[in-house]
Amino acid sequence: MNDGRDRRSLREGEAAAQRPRRALPARSVTSPAVHSPGSGGAQAAPQRGEAARVSADDLRAKIREVPDFPKPGILFYDITTLLKDAAAFKDAIDLMTKPFEDTKIDVVVGMESRGFIFSAPMAYRLDAGFVPVRKLGKLPAETVSVEYSLEYGTNTLEVHKDAIQPGDKVLIVDDLLATGGTVIGTIELVQQLKGEVAGLAFLVELLFLKGRERLKQYDVYSVVQY
């Protein structure tokens, strides 16, 4: 489904990892999703009718690995192969939503741009509103903004000033957690509007980039880890 580096190469490629390619099993018996603080156990897709129960490795097997993209030495994790699979896409939404089903969520915030893919259906599932966080100049009405550092400069995120009300319980969603810088910027936007961060949900987490360590005070959940 950045943070001190060029956003296009390692955020829209934030699912890229600068390390040697390694083979992944096509299917495993179990691979617990990471959820902290909280239960910490594997989260199976909720059963709606005859909905299948899947593991994180079932979804991992749907993610295509593309070596040397967007540049040599980078392994890119392409989630489009998961998204085109109707069952896998549904399972991903179910797994990302499951930990927050018993939490009051007023607004689900999606981070530009792949975060929108997951945050909108999750908002529907949670009976919550959906709010997009966008790059500078993409929103038409009055906004609040936050600037955060990149390796060779800065970037700016914005949200509409009336998108979040004081006291709103907010779930922040993105396709991937890497170093955490963009997430922290989004948290700052929520706090500017006096919302309360109720949790953070990601399809993919790059554990070796240690973004989770910068988010210790929050309820962080990811489905697939590399």
- The answer to whether residue 125 scores a pLDDT higher than 60 is yes
Q: Which of 1-5, 93-97, 208-212, 221-225 has the lowest mean pLDDT?
A: 1-5
Q: Which residue has the tokens 């009405």?
A: 141
Residues shown for the chain: 226
Q: What is the pLDDT of residue 36?
A: 64
CA angle 37, 38, 40 (to 5 degrees): 95
- Rounded Cα gap, residues 209 and 47, in angstroms: 33
Region 31-49: mean pLDDT is 46
Q: How confident is the model at residue 34 (pLDDT cuts 50, 70, 90)?
A: low
Show which residues are catalytic: 114, 151
pTM for the model stands at: 0.79
C-alpha atoms less than 13 angstroms from C-alpha of 22 in its C-beta half-sphere? 8
Domain extent for 38: 7-225
Write out the two tokens for 194: 């006096």
Whether 140 is in a domain gets the answer yes
Residue 2 lies in a domain: no
Tokens at 103, concatenated: 């939490």
CB atoms inside a 10 Å sphere around CB 14: 28
24 by Cβ neighbours in 10 Å (0-12 / 13-18 / 19+) ranks as middle
Residue 1 lies in a domain: no
Domain total in the chain? 1
CA atoms of 148 and 39, how far apart (whole Å): 32
Q: Is residue 73 part of a domain?
A: yes
Residue 54: band (very low, low, confident or very high) from pLDDT cuts 50, 70, 90: confident
CATH number of the domain within which 15 lies: 3.40.50.2020
Opening angle at CA 175, ends 111 and 24, nearest 5: 165
Q: Is residue 54 part of a domain?
A: yes
Residue 74: closest CA among 12, 157, 123: 12
Q: Which residues pair with 72 in a beta bridge?
A: none
Radius of gyration of the chain (CA): 17
Q: Provide the pLDDT for residue 150.
A: 66
**What SS3 class is residue 131?**
strand
Higher pLDDT residue, 113 or 36?
113
